[in-house]
Amino acid sequence: MSRPGAVEASQPDAGVAAHYGDPLREQRLLAGGTAVVDLSHRGVVTVAGEDRLNLLNTLSSQLLLDLKPGQSRETLLLTLQGRIEYDARIIDDGDTSWLIVESFEAEGLAAWLTSMKFMMRVEAVDATDRWAVVGAAAAQPGFEGRLGWQDPWPEIGAGGYAYTGIDEPEHPGRDLTWFEYLVPADELEDTLAGRELAGVWAAEALRIAAWRPRFGLETDEKTIPHELDLLRTAVHLAKGCYKGQETVARVHNLGHPPRRLVFLQLDGSQHTLPDAGSEVRLGERTVGRVTSAAQHYEMGPVALAVVKRSVDPAAQLVVVDGDESYDASQETIVAPDAGKVVGRPTGLLRGPR
């Protein structure tokens, strides 16, 4: 926030810059790999001890026992009903597992992991005050010695499953490679000195265009992973038992997720954006809510929304935010018939590798 022109973002990104005076230029530079974004408001949880991967593997949706130093994965911690409680980006350095999370997750996650370790040799610590995160859309020169998490999205991980129903080479997430580097908080200013900076608005626009869900925005207290296509990167369908696994397996094998994530191309004639939480309507009926919206440097106003599974993928929708309304063309992210793979003809959705 000390850089000239910095304008502070609102929640959930308060504490860092939304932009530095020219959001679309910043977005172009970020997309091209020549700018970085200050994500120092992100939470960081460290899990040390020789039993750390065993504990994390036991509690979460991802297979982590084989995680090698420097490898990046995503994992979820679920409720008994299979609803997403925490979403963690994880990288291990050989001694410590580093979990990058949203700012509001860190304290509760560290406390919960501590409460669940029992006799395991593990120490979980909320290290948010000592570590900062820097985001980038390309590997950064000069960051070679820093621990950096690389987003696996949209690759279908081992044991994963895609709910999109499109040919994988067409997935727009393939246009974005995303890194989150860990930097000691007291070195952040020196680390960013001399580098082009982009605000979080730029990062959010690229994320939305890549169909990448974000915890706390695309999720609510009822969200299950299937609704957001998170089985592709954050769930291993063949691993052992963990809390919430029964719901994950039941919906995947025998049912359908009740809601689905969609991408919306918005009418830009108002020169404004709808707020998160704005209604998505089909005719006079409310069928969902906008979860994220941004101005993309090439596509104009775009959004992610979660809608009822029954919504016709070809239907023209309208987003309503108070007195403003926005015509919205939808692109299917999670297919309406996703799930219920038992008895499904092969080739319709991408299965586990």
Of the pLDDT bands very low, low, confident and very high (cuts 50, 70, 90), residue 344 is low
Average pLDDT over residues 88-112: 98
Ranking 130-134, 165-169, 244-248 by mean pLDDT, the lowest is: 165-169
pLDDT at 348: 47
List the one residue out of 3, 30, 2, 5 whose CA is nearest residue 200: 30
pLDDT at 1: 78
Question: What is the per-residue pLDDT across 285-298, written as a single tens digit (0 to 9) for each?
Answer: 999 999 999 999 99
Tell me, yes or no, if the two domains 7-227 and 258-332 fold the same way: no
β-pair partners for 125 = 46
Average pLDDT over residues 167-174: 96
Overall fold of domain 7-227: Gyrase A; domain 2 (3.30.1360)
Q: Is 180 annotated as a binding residue?
A: yes
In the chain, where are the structural domains located? 7-227, 258-332
pLDDT at 347 over 50: no
Q: Cα separation of 184 and 75, whole Å?
A: 24
List the one residue out of 55, 60, 64, 78 whose CA is nearest residue 225: 78
Q: What is the mean pLDDT of the chain?
A: 95
Within 10 angstroms of residue 112's Cβ, the number of other Cβ atoms is: 15
- Selected from 3.100.10.10, 2.40.30.110, 3.40.50.1820, 1.10.10.10, the CATH number assigned to the domain covering 258-332 reads 2.40.30.110
CB 52 within 8 A of CB 97: yes
Integer angstrom CA distances of residue 41 from 1, 12, 174, 185: 11, 9, 26, 11
Question: What is the per-residue pLDDT across 109-150, written as a single tens digit (0 to 9) for each?
Answer: 999 999 999 999 999 999 999 999 999 999 999 999 999 999
**Rounded percentage of the chain residues whose pLDDT exceeds 90:** 94
pLDDT at 83 over 80: yes
Non-local CB neighbours of 82 within 8 Å, separated by 6+ positions: 224, 225, 244, 245, 246, 247, 248, 251
The structure's pTM equals 0.95
Question: What is the per-residue pLDDT across 6-30, written as a single tens digit (0 to 9) for each?
Answer: 999 999 999 999 999 999 999 999 9
